[in-house]
Structure 1
Amino acid sequence: MSARLPIKDTIGMALGALSSNRLRSALTMLGIVIGNASVITLVGVGKGAQNLAEGQLSTLGANVLFVVPGNNDTRRRGIETPKTLVLEDANAILEQVPSVGRVAPQITLSETVRARDLSATATVSGITPEFLAVRRFDMAQGRFFSDADLQGARNVAVLGPDLAARLLPGGYPIGKEVRIRNQSFQVVGIMASKGAFLGQNQDDAAYVPLSTMVSRLSGRDPTFGTSLSFVSVEAKDEKSVSAAKFQISNLLRLRHKILREDDFAVRSQKDALSIVGTITGGLTLMLGAIGAISLLVGGIGIMNIMLVSVSERTQEIGLRKAVGARSNDVLLQFLVEALVVSSLGGLVGSLIGLGAVLAVAALTPLPAAIGLASVASTVALSGSIGLFFGVVPARRAAQLDPIVALRRL
């Protein structure tokens, strides 16, 4: 009975076989390299999208709630925003909900803003002085609206930095005039940069007092009153968020005389993070699955090339078995070859994928990132795929009859 070949010798023979056919080994490895690089890159991009959305939501503050008109179904079906939230609702929330600290009602329109011979389409929002504190905005130049501006419905405006740069390039913008719907507004302040929020550039916007918005731009509906786009609500502290959400919902149900389905929605930062996490998590999973298909194709390539290799090395296998090698030794050698090709390909592909993730993070606003655990899992997966698809060629090599193989010499 022949002795088992030491594992060290088996590994040495496997590496020798791979090095003697370097071009074939490299081409076999290429599918795994592409698959691993795809998985790492796509998962990193998906994670970056999740980080970006979560980062933007975190700037809202943990104790901020948004009250929006219409429920999810009506907002999804409707072309226009439902007019089910009015200024009186915002005032009632401030006065009657004990867990609420500040309330900032808002009306938002898309308008053309002009300054001399320059114009730009931007978001124009009618807001109150509480907006700065509730939404955590800061001023870069000038001042924000005062209670006197709100009560007097003055034609004053605060611009986002991007809009100010487009309409009032160079010089000092404070005190200059812009026009919205043929109404002249004096620029009294410039917001500090806030960045994008869920795809909308908050720096490319104009802000006017809410009373001015109603009297000069949006108007007051004779049926509904002063309809709001949404209301930003600041709970007294983070622990009061759940209570505030419950109390606001009950108050609006009473005010709107709702018996069945709500005509409003109250959303917290936690709710938004949950929704965004679900969406971006699904996106990351889908991108990872697309990359995994490349890994699967690479594994099929390993099996195909190794079947060819078995066919070409029939004489070598027959000679080894004739001088005492056991079937398990031959099986192990081909499995080692498959494992080395797939693992090395996985390592190279992962390095390429990490480089791509770093490039995306450096060259785009997307904070693409991926953890070492994900990289290690991908390399381990590629090695497992190599072993799985290497079994069939290895078994075929191990089952060769040495007498039949030697006849081909």
Structure 2
Amino acid sequence: MVDFAESTKMAVKTLAANRLRSALTMLGIIIGNASVITMVGVGEGAREYAAGQFESLGPNVLFIIPGSPASQNRTLERPRALTFEDSEAIATQVPTVDSVAPQLVTQQTVVAGNLNTNSTITGVTPEFTTVRSFEVDAGRFITDEDVERGTRVVVLGPDLADSLFPSESPIGQTLRIRNVSFEVIGVLEAKGAFLGDNQDDIAYTPLTTLSSQITGNTSPYGLEISFISVMARDEQSMTAAQFQIQNLLRLRHRIVDEDSFTVRNQKDALELIGNVTGALTVMLAAIAGISLLVGGIGIMNIMLVSVRERTQEIGLRKAIGASEQDILTQFMIEATILAALGGAVGTLAGSGGIMLVSALTPLAAGVSTTAVIVAVCVSGGIGLFFGVVPARQAAKLDPIVALRSA
């Protein structure tokens, strides 16, 4: 009967006597485990980051943009633009909609005194802060009266305010956009970046002012806008709101074939990003898993070398009564210890890598318990699998031949 305790004790002593070789043997397993755990953690962090970015756009938000869903029209004609009148129709005729925020976006140079910067200028209505969950930090936001009268007022993102007015309050100050003077009436609270686009470096003006005095109205159908943000009444109304908006715009644009607009659901975007990041995580984990396979091959190679080096020891043990099962067990235990210890060290290294990623990037990467369990189990299994061949070779050695070859 095999004495597992004795076999384990001998295996540990043997590995301890060859520390450098044991450490080098474990290196492949360590790198494999660390890579798998780090890549899975980064993938999960990317998914959480993307979800947080979309949630920052506001709750229950739909986005309506010009162009067909397939991003490819059957003619070379430019699709009919969305208009301010479209947004008003959605606000008044779609019962599942709570607020509608049309937006007109352009890039312009903003000048304040002797300072200037190239920034995004967005024409909006008062509903913008409700739909997109923005808060005013100082001053006030654009009102319905500003939109109706086309007043030359502007609200700044905090980063843009700091760039243009670094040493004084921007409220009440004047800046110029294409040589048109605007009065700063407010500064928004910090919102952060959305997928790399800094939302705090934007200037907001009344939509009518931007259209009439900066960009010019180029649509024959009405006041042209870049896109429309819509907030549904609640999460359960999202699908109904999307369907009703599509039907209304088809009637308004007299569409009988392919849509000239696209309604994007926030949840659909989140699901798409989740699928992409999930597939990317699996791919990265699979690539990193190759290191585990390489580590297993390394274990087998070193164990085969160990069998040849310890031929005399094996012969002597078998000569004094050790069975093939005893020899097989010892070598299998050695391989398993190498793989398991390498897995443990790799897990620690992977956890450290995730902490480093979290500290140096916006990704809130975390250690996946599932990834740790799978990686350690796989590394242990690899040790067993690749330890079989050298263990069987050692167990089959003839004691007489082994002693003679020593």
TM-score range, shorter chain: over 0.9
For residue 31 of structure 2, the aligned residue among 24, 31, 34 is: 34
Query: Residue 182 of structure 1 corresponds to which residue in structure 2?
Result: 179
Are residues 1:127 and 2:128 paired?
A: no
For residue 52 of structure 1, the aligned residue among 38, 49, 53 is: 49
Tell me: CA distance 1:137–1:346, structure 2 relative to 1, closer, same or farther (3 Å): same
Are residues 1:145 and 2:134 paired?
A: no
Are residues 1:310 and 2:310 paired?
A: no
Matches within 5 A, 1:269-348: 269-348=266-345
Q: CA deviation at 1:273?
A: 1.0
CA deviations over 1:112-140 (Å, ceiling 9, x no partner): 22212222222111110100111110011
> Distance between the aligned counterparts of 1:393 and 1:132, measured in 2?
69
Q: CA deviation at 1:5?
A: 2.6
Mean CA deviation greater in 255-264 or 378-387? 255-264
Tell me: CA distance 1:108–1:333, structure 2 relative to 1, closer, same or farther (3 Å): same
Mean CA deviation greater in 361-370 or 342-351? 361-370
Query: Residue 10 of structure 1 corresponds to which residue in structure 2?
Result: 7
> Distance between the aligned counterparts of 2:25 and 2:380, measured in 1?
13
CA deviations over 1:179-210 (Å, ceiling 9, x no partner): 22222211111110001112211011111110
2:102 touches 2:229 (CA, 8 Å); kept in 1?
yes
SS of 1:74's equivalent? coil
Query: Residue 211 of structure 1 corresponds to which residue in structure 2?
Result: 208
Can you give the 5+ residue segments of structure 2 that lack an aligned partner in the other structure?
none
For residue 200 of structure 1, the aligned residue among 197, 201, 204 is: 197
SS of 2:168's equivalent? coil
CA deviations over 1:243-288 (Å, ceiling 9, x no partner): 1111111111222222232222212221111011011112222221
CA deviations over 1:281-307 (Å, ceiling 9, x no partner): 122222212221222221121111111
Q: Which residue identity is paired with 1:339?
A: T
For residue 348 of structure 2, the aligned residue among 343, 351, 355 is: 351
2:36 touches 2:371 (CA, 8 Å); kept in 1?
no
Query: Residue 396 of structure 1 corresponds to which residue in structure 2?
Result: 393
Matches within 5 A, 1:148-167: 148-167=145-164
> Distance between the aligned counterparts of 1:327 and 1:204, measured in 2?
74
SS of 1:172's equivalent? coil
Query: Residue 248 of structure 1 corresponds to which residue in structure 2?
Result: 245
Tell me: CA distance 1:167–1:46, structure 2 relative to 1, closer, same or farther (3 Å): same
SS of 1:194's equivalent? coil
Can you give the 5+ residue segments of structure 1 that lack an aligned partner in the other structure?
none
Q: Which residue identity is paired with 1:155?
A: R
| Structure 1 residue ranges, 4+ long, deviating more than 3 angstroms after superposition | 75-84, 222-225
> Distance between the aligned counterparts of 2:274 and 2:284, measured in 1?
15
Are residues 1:105 and 2:102 paired?
A: yes
Query: Residue 71 of structure 1 corresponds to which residue in structure 2?
Result: 68
Q: CA deviation at 1:74?
A: 2.0
2:59 touches 2:231 (CA, 8 Å); kept in 1?
no
SS of 2:182's equivalent? strand
1:62 touches 1:270 (CA, 8 Å); kept in 2?
no
Question: CA RMSD of the aligned region, Å?
Answer: 2.1
Mean CA deviation greater in 43-52 or 67-76? 67-76
Tell me: CA distance 1:81–1:331, structure 2 relative to 1, closer, same or farther (3 Å): farther
> Distance between the aligned counterparts of 2:79 and 2:284, measured in 1?
36
Q: Which residue identity is paired with 1:334?
A: F
* TM-score normalized by the length of structure 1: 0.94
Q: Which residue identity is paired with 1:219?
A: G
Are residues 1:387 and 2:398 paired?
A: no
> Distance between the aligned counterparts of 2:372 and 2:78, measured in 1?
45
Mean CA deviation greater in 140-149 or 291-300? 291-300
> Distance between the aligned counterparts of 1:257 and 1:81, measured in 2?
15
SS of 2:242's equivalent? helix
> Distance between the aligned counterparts of 1:167 and 1:381, measured in 2?
57
> Distance between the aligned counterparts of 1:304 and 1:82, measured in 2?
65
> Distance between the aligned counterparts of 2:384 and 2:61, measured in 1?
52
Tell me: CA distance 1:294–1:325, structure 2 relative to 1, closer, same or farther (3 Å): same
2:67 touches 2:261 (CA, 8 Å); kept in 1?
yes
> Distance between the aligned counterparts of 2:348 and 2:363, measured in 1?
20
1:75 touches 1:81 (CA, 8 Å); kept in 2?
no
1:69 touches 1:81 (CA, 8 Å); kept in 2?
no
Query: Residue 86 of structure 2 corresponds to which residue in structure 1?
Result: 89
1:38 touches 1:291 (CA, 8 Å); kept in 2?
yes
2:111 touches 2:177 (CA, 8 Å); kept in 1?
yes
Q: Which residue identity is paired with 1:247?
A: Q
Q: CA deviation at 1:371?
A: 2.5
SS of 1:383's equivalent? helix
Mean CA deviation greater in 13-22 or 280-289? 280-289
2:40 touches 2:368 (CA, 8 Å); kept in 1?
no
> Distance between the aligned counterparts of 1:44 and 1:241, measured in 2?
31
Tell me: CA distance 1:325–1:206, structure 2 relative to 1, closer, same or farther (3 Å): same
Q: CA deviation at 1:403?
A: 2.4
Q: Which residue identity is paired with 2:321?
A: G
> Distance between the aligned counterparts of 1:247 and 1:229, measured in 2?
20
